[in-house]
Amino acid sequence: MSKIANVRLPNADANFSTEKFNQLVRSLEQVIFQLNTSYTATPDQNIAAAMNWMVGSNAAGGGFAGRVRGFQTSDGIILPYGMVMDQSQHQNLSTTVENILTYDTPIFGNGVSVQAHEASFTGYIDDGAGGAGTILTVTAVSSGPILSGMTLTGTGITAGTRIIEQISGTTGSTGTYTVDTAQLVASTAIQGSRASKLRFDYHGQYLITVSCQVVNTDNAAHSFELWAKDTGVNYPLSNTRFDVPSRKSASAYGYVVANVSGIFTVRDPANNYLEMAWWSDSTSVYSEADVAGTSPTRPAIPSVILTAAFLSKEYT
């Protein structure tokens, strides 16, 4: 605020006279007069100062130091957020291993993104005796680790082939694995990828909401469980169980929407990531994607929708 010039206010003492009281009144009248007629705002103490507080001093819009202040624009507050989906089926790899949700369709976001686990190795696929089968033998690893759920690409490998689990060898490295598609592939360079890591550019607390379109093609009801993993480790007390009803007929399946929400804490953006895992007691249960409908026109159904919204800085 600009400085206001006014007469000196009277000093108070035990004998506050009428004259001093009148002097105080005259001083207040001058202050009010200046405010009403001649007051001029000082930009660097008003508008510019307020904008600097909201936007920050960084020319790119502030550095978002973990507070609401910073990383702002002149027309509103920008906070990290994201929405991702997957348009493919999430088949149940096995009733004895965890399945990890993957994402192929980033809808929008700021400071929240999907990254993939990647592995590069040499191996071959057969039945263990030279015929077509589901045993992947890894003889050398260039980069890794090799994880269940990775989709494999390489010369001669059937498109969409995924690793179910490791059955022998060094964890995530050389050894044998089972895959979900029988085939015969000679020794070749193989790439494995699993786009399952939700990454955050800024530390803090995030509200996470996940919805899975779960289908059951069996005649009996089955269980479906969904939980969170923090940087590869199960998040305590994050699991939720759903009962998926049996199918109504051979072509009318049982459905349930598995929906969970919770707060995920990011303390180390360079290393922390969120993954969502699921399990079912039947391979007839999986997260389904479906095509767009007609009569009336309806959007396609993704197998999973995940949203993330920044809540607050995490103080440690």
Instruction: Give the C-alpha distances (Å, rounded to integers) separating 216 from 225, 257, 291.
Output: 13, 12, 18
Average pLDDT over every residue of 273-285: 98
Q: For all residues of the chain together, what is the average pLDDT?
A: 87
Amino acid at 134: T
pLDDT range class, residue 65, cuts 50, 70, 90: very low
Domain range list for the chain? 16-78, 81-111+201-312, 115-196
Least confident of 25-29, 38-42, 251-255: 38-42
Least confident of 21-30, 37-46, 123-132, 265-274: 37-46
pLDDT range class, residue 74, cuts 50, 70, 90: low
Average pLDDT over every residue of 91-105: 94
More confident residue, 139 or 42: 139
Predicted local confidence at residue 29, as pLDDT: 77
Average pLDDT over every residue of 22-48: 68
- Is the model's pLDDT at 59 over the cut of 50? no
**pTM value?**
0.76
Predicted local confidence at residue 263, as pLDDT: 95
**pLDDT above 70 coverage of the chain, percent:** 80
- Is the model's pLDDT at 229 over the cut of 80? yes
Asked if 79 and 165 count as a contact pair (C-beta separation under 8 A), the reply is: no
Can you tell me whether residue 117 is helix, strand or coil? strand
Cross-strand partners of 209: 261, 307
Q: What is the largest CA-CA distance in the chain?
A: 113
- Measured from the Cβ of residue 228, the count of other Cβ atoms closer than 10 Å reads 22
- Structure confidence by residue, pLDDT tens digits, 281-312: 999 999 999 999 999 999 999 999 999 999 98
Asked if 314 and 219 count as a contact pair (C-beta separation under 8 A), the reply is: no
Element spanning 23, H or E: helix 18-33
Q: How big is the chain, counted in residues?
A: 316
Q: Is the dihedral of CA 300, 160, 134, 94 positive or negative?
A: negative
Least Cα distance to 258 among 245, 241, 234, 281 occurs for 241
- Rounded Cα gap, residues 70 and 55, in angstroms: 5
- Is the model's pLDDT at 4 over the cut of 80? no
pLDDT range class, residue 140, cuts 50, 70, 90: very high
Least Cα distance to 162 among 86, 234, 92 occurs for 92
Average pLDDT over every residue of 254-270: 95
Instruction: Give the C-alpha distances (Å, rounded to integers) separating 162 from 119, 150, 154, 186.
Output: 13, 5, 12, 17
Average pLDDT over every residue of 239-256: 96
Least confident of 52-66, 80-94, 172-186, 199-213: 52-66
Can you tell me whether residue 54 is helix, strand or coil? helix
Predicted local confidence at residue 50, as pLDDT: 61
CATH classification of 81-111+201-312 is 3.40.710.10, yes or no?
A: no
- Structure confidence by residue, pLDDT tens digits, 142-152: 999 999 999 99
- The tokens for 108 are 């929008």
Average pLDDT over every residue of 241-255: 96
